Chain A
């Protein structure tokens, strides 16, 4: 297919169908075709993580994913209704400055929380920083972002 095709996928729990070119970036499908502008474009080269979303539960850079690769997939963005605990942690800790990296950070922190909530020990600083290494903050507000991640993890634990 070189022509646009009917892409069916689930976004934040809602089935959606959009007519798009097969190599259109998932980032553009979300922002332009579905008007979900929470997901941000930073570098557009897979370096900065601002466009991070979940595809079938895996954190990916949506600027590097083609529309033809997400047929039938379950996509979650910062607009997903179940990210409230992580978002509240960012609000409380002052984890956002200009806000461009924040949606991607929220999703990366959610992935970090999902991975660590069930473990019997605290991640050390290196493990926490490694979990967020794919997300750049040009305001350099990292300390408060790390504090947000720790707060979110603490709240997620049973």
Chain B
């Protein structure tokens, strides 16, 4: 294996110029918490790497239309330290607090979670549930994609080789929307997820009016759980209905695997139970 060619752009314009003619397999390096392990183990042996870490233009969170726009290099620690992020995307900050420990939170980025598209990336289910969009930028322009269209499969995305993730936007919270986040790992801190669940739902006059839910580590990439909305919208949150919804989503919307961290059967069972518990808490207004 020959050493990879590494480009270290000093500005966003330099980065876009470097990517303009990039080979399809060029890897973009953000905080390195995932890719540096891949490189060291030899599982990933890139020919070309572009390191984006020093691009301060890709940092920071700001208001956008009552929602939140985050630069791609916004770290979990940045989210934890941002009152605006807490106000606009509380469950995303909750998730950031459960990504590794402080050493990882200081380097792991929102854009990196999306870019590597690991099924176990903890922020991605939350971004899905909150209806986030990804802004992709290239020398020829930019485009916005919903996260569910950006994540296309196991460590696969809709990013073109000439594009980078510039920022991620979470829309303004719909009036009365309730949100939940839950991660199940081997231990409380610093574990890679077995199951992650994020829920966003509204109720009016005792019935669900909108449900958007997503899960991580139960499919090749983070996935929406459309069965929950199909079972629940228009319905009251009674016990039997919540039971049925959790069961159907775990059966129809997930495709877990056996691996070193868990078994497929365990993941499906935990998904069902966590969904049921979190739906109950959400319906109770917690």
Binding site for B on A (CB under 8 A): 1-3, 21-23, 25, 44-47, 49, 52, 58-61, 63-66, 68-69, 71, 108, 111, 129-131, 133-135
Contact = CB atoms under 8 A, between A and B. Distances in A.
B104 interface: yes
A59 B8 contact: no
Contact of B36 (A25, A59, A131): A25
B146 interface: no
A59 B103 contact: yes
A130 B54 contact: no
Contact of B8 (A22, A64, A133, A135): A22
A87 B259 CA distance: 41
B49 A60 contact: no
Interface string B32-56: 1100110111000000010101100
Given A49-B101, A52-B103, A69 B33 contact: no
A64 B6 contact: no
23 contacts: A2-B4, A2-B6, A22-B8, A23-B6, A23-B49, A25-B40, A45-B37, A46-B100, A46-B103, A59-B102, A59-B103, A63-B40, A64-B31, A64-B37, A65-B32, A66-B51, A68-B6, A108-B103, A130-B189, A131-B102, A133-B102, A134-B101, A135-B101
Q: Which of B2, B39, B53, B106 has the most CB of A within 10 A?
A: B106
Interface in B91-106: 100-104, 106
